[in-house]
Amino acid sequence: MTMLPFDDRDGFIWYNGEMLPWRETKLHVLSHGLHYASAVFEGERAYSGNIFKMQEHHERLHKSGELLGFEIPYSVEEINKASMEVLERNGWTDAYLRPIAWRGSEMMAVSAQKTKIHVAIAAWQWPSYFTPEARMKGLRLDWAVWNRPDPKTAPTSSKAAGLYMIATLSKHAAEAKGYDDALMLDYRGQIAESTGSNVFLIQDGVIHTPTPDCFLDGITRQTVIDIARSKGYEVVERAIMPEELAKTQEVFLTGTAVEVTPVASIGDYTFTPGDITRDLLVAYDEMVGKPAV
């Protein structure tokens, strides 16, 4: 199967306040964001023409920029409007959106206070392919080869491009061994997240999830916690060690891309996706207005 490259597609991308043809949205090879990872981004989903949690995503984009020491030159409201325009101009209703902000090419050194901050918003179609039943089969995870860093060593509460390098390395290593993804530990050896999603464990009817003190507190994560509590489930945020998987009955991941997806195994530990996971999966689908497959 030939993959359509992301730099050679039909459509339109919002770029620094203008709607440009897809192939014309380029940046210079000496952009600071490319060389020093001084970029922040968001991943969002549109369902039936509505971008889920759009305000929260764009508020976080601004906060991530602040954590990297720069100010995004467009307000949250302007980015909201531009994101809807991207969907409308491309004629899509079910799509993935990628707003990104990065330092430009005015300075090429570690010091980059005078660089221009660029902003772009792209989107591509992302329809619903799998029924809840198909997703309930669960993913197979390996253990990641890298750990999430200490907050004293990186801006871990930002959605910064540089923080995903070890996620890419870990996912590639897992996929090379036949797994779907990898579970990352943190710098203390505690369970953190997958390479791009938050993780939840169900033990004797109680939902447990790691405290997000050195990785991103996902918007989908927060949403699922709210759903679970509204349904009467107990949700405990705490430090979780890997050996606790031995007494765990269900595991699931949450994120914009995976939504709510069960896990069938992590390394040698196996789980049976069950009623609680399915209940939250279906409730999340209903909340976002996911079209029936």
**Positions marked catalytic:** 159
Dihedral of alpha carbons 78, 80, 81, 82, sign: positive
Pairing of strands 206-210, 139-143: unpaired
CA 118 vs CA 14, 86, 99, 122, 134: distances in Å: 11, 17, 11, 13, 40
* Ramachandran assignment for 16, one of left (phi > 0), alpha (psi -120 to 50 degrees), beta (any other): left
Structure tokens belonging to residue 96:
């993935």
Choose among 136, 140, 153, 144: nearest CA to 194: 144
How many angstroms separate the CA atoms of 221 and 247, rounded? Answer: 22
Angle at 199 between CA 193 and CA 203, to 5 degrees: 130
